[in-house]
């Protein structure tokens, strides 16, 4: 899905910024993946050092959505690697934003998907299947709700209650 520049969205929608209907995430995310610009409706996950439901979710049709994973900010292991990034691309996900780490960075960077994460770690996650789907998650200085819209480019990440236009 094509995306308008986040700076332009901020300039055009200042009323939404002031009302809190549009929020800019803190600049804590590194850019990974071949697609640096992506947008779409949000699906949320809340996990801690366990990526079983990450895989289960990415095995479903993405239909241009963005998976937002609250990994609790853990840097102790990766929640996404090259195989899952390729799966996300194959299943039609627009992007993935992780309050946690990735691994297989070189593979992810050649995959046609947009990814943001707080860092990388070569250690894979646990496989217990513990986590929550479609719940509000807190990351980047804001709460993100399932069904909101996410816009990402080299300038940053925006969350909006509704799809934005310029």
> How do strand 66-70 and strand 78-80 relate by DSSP bridges?
unpaired
Q: Residues forming the annotated binding site for substrate?
A: 81-84, 103
Q: Which residues pair with 97 in a beta bridge?
A: 68, 116
Q: Quote helix, strand, coil % in the chain, to nearest 5.
A: 20, 35, 45
Enter the tokens of residue 122: 């070569």
* Segment (H or E) for 11: helix 6-12
Q: Residues 93, 62: contact at Cβ < 8 Å?
A: yes
Annotated binding site for Mg(2+): 104
- CB burial of residue 9 (10 Å; 0-12, 13-18, 19+): buried
Q: Which residues are annotated as a binding site?
A: 81-84, 103-104
């Amino acid at each position: 899905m094509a995306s308008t520049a986040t700076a332009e969205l901020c300039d055009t929608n200042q009323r939404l910024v002031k009302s809190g209907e549009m929020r800019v995430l803190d600049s804590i995310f590194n850019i990974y993946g071949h697609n640096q610009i992506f947008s779409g409706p949000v699906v949320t996950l809340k996990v801690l050092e366990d990526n079983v439901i990450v895989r289960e979710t990415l095995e479903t049709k993405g239909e241009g959505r963005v998976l937002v994973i609250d990994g609790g900010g853990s840097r102790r292991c990766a929640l996404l690697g090259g195989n899952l990034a390729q799966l996300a691309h194959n299943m039609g996900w627009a992007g993935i934003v992780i309050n946690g780490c990735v691994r297989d960075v070189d593979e992810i960077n050649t995959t046609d998907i947009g990814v943001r994460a707080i860092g990388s770690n070569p250690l894979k996650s646990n496989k217990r299947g513990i986590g929550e789907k479609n719940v509000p998650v807190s990351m980047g200085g804001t709460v993100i709700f399932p069904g909101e819209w996410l816009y990402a480019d080299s300038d940053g990440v925006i969350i909006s209650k509704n799809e934005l236009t310029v």
